[in-house]
Structure 1
């Protein structure tokens, strides 16, 4: 039988169904809810994709289920939160939950805890970015001084000055973009 060049020929209804979005409600700690929101917003990842990534790995989820201490989980102050997940992710959660007779909420809570190391490393990187942004501002001021000196020496219409002007405009936009990113990243400081 000849192989088809049609990229969709291999897709089955089950594959398509696994990508289907469904809503699921979990009782989670505020810290877990904040973590999933923070990572999604800060890194520009949809929450559904984030859940797919942290939950869909059956082997990791299985290993996690073995390590959960259900008594500790039950002591957490939790509240309900609804998320959109893929059907495949829900099925993975349900399968592991049934295998270990464990609430899906516990699996989700402890899966999200894996994000804390990502958040902590991003928090450190955020501090580094703030320091580097200070250097960026200093360098921008150096270029601005060079432009002023060049304009006095050569005149604003000199090709050298026009090129520096373009550089300054580009640096202004870049500085604004960096400042906006740093402002958006401030949520990391309080986590």
Structure 2
């Protein structure tokens, strides 16, 4: 009897696991969205360093958020120019989206667009951080230039074999690498400036 119970438990586990895996399976879905919404999703995913699929799933898979949008939905104006855009999303997200759209008689595209619109405050916050990153990058560059000047003086006054000079050289190499990494992050965030 114990063996039979283990078999049933394994079958139930496999059924739950396979249903869960099917929910995570990626599918393609096309939505008609404003160019602003498309750009917002792209820019924010790039800024946060995550895939658009992950961000899209996170935003649209929020069941309570979708229901709130659907309840408040009054008019999905067709006057704004919309573009068809295909996204790779999880099957679970798509099923949830279609379920809420059907239950509240709301266009899928409207739910997606208004879900993305909820990201705009986060995008604005990221834009402010980007401006601060640029300021810190400028200060880092000045700091590095001052360090190079000090290193040159140390080499002249102490010699290139002096332990203090060598430690300063190591430090500046490390700071230079950090400065390059910061510059890379700032460059990656340039898209947000034009949004």
Q: TM-score, normalised by structure 1?
A: 0.90
Q: CA deviation at 1:149?
A: 1.8
2:59 pairs with 1:54: yes
Q: In structure 1, the residue corresponding to 2:105 is in which secondary structure?
A: coil
Aligned to 2:183: 179
Larger Rg: 2
Taking the aligned partners of 1:156 and 1:83, their CA distance within structure 2 comes to 57
Aligned to 1:167: 171
After TM superposition, where is structure 1 displaced by more than 6 Å over at least 4 residues in a row?
Answer: none
User: 24, 28, 31: which one pairs with 1:26?
Assistant: 31
Q: In structure 2, the residue corresponding to 1:70 is in which secondary structure?
A: coil
Q: CA deviation at 1:145?
A: 2.0
Q: CA deviation at 1:148?
A: 1.5
Range moving further from structure 2, 77-86 or 138-147: 138-147
Aligned to 2:79: 75
Aligned to 1:12: 17
Q: In structure 2, the residue corresponding to 1:22 is in which secondary structure?
A: strand
Gaps of 5+ in 2: 3-12
Aligned to 1:107: 111
Range moving further from structure 2, 57-66 or 23-32: 57-66
Q: State whether residues 21 and 85 of structure 1, in contact with CA within 8 Å, keep that contact through their aligned partners in structure 2.
A: yes
Deviations 1:59-92 (A, max 9, x none): 1111111122324x32221010000000110011
Q: In structure 2, the residue corresponding to 1:157 is in which secondary structure?
A: coil
Q: How many residues align?
A: 186
Residues 127-166 of structure 1: pairs in structure 2 closer than 5 A: 127-166=131-170
Q: In structure 1, the residue corresponding to 2:50 is in which secondary structure?
A: coil
Taking the aligned partners of 2:122 and 2:175, their CA distance within structure 1 comes to 30
Q: State whether residues 68 and 110 of structure 1, in contact with CA within 8 Å, keep that contact through their aligned partners in structure 2.
A: no
Q: State whether residues 73 and 106 of structure 2, in contact with CA within 8 Å, keep that contact through their aligned partners in structure 1.
A: no
Q: CA deviation at 1:55?
A: 1.2
2:120 pairs with 1:116: yes
> How large is the RMSD of aligned CA atoms in angstroms?
2.0
Gaps of 5+ in 1: 2-8
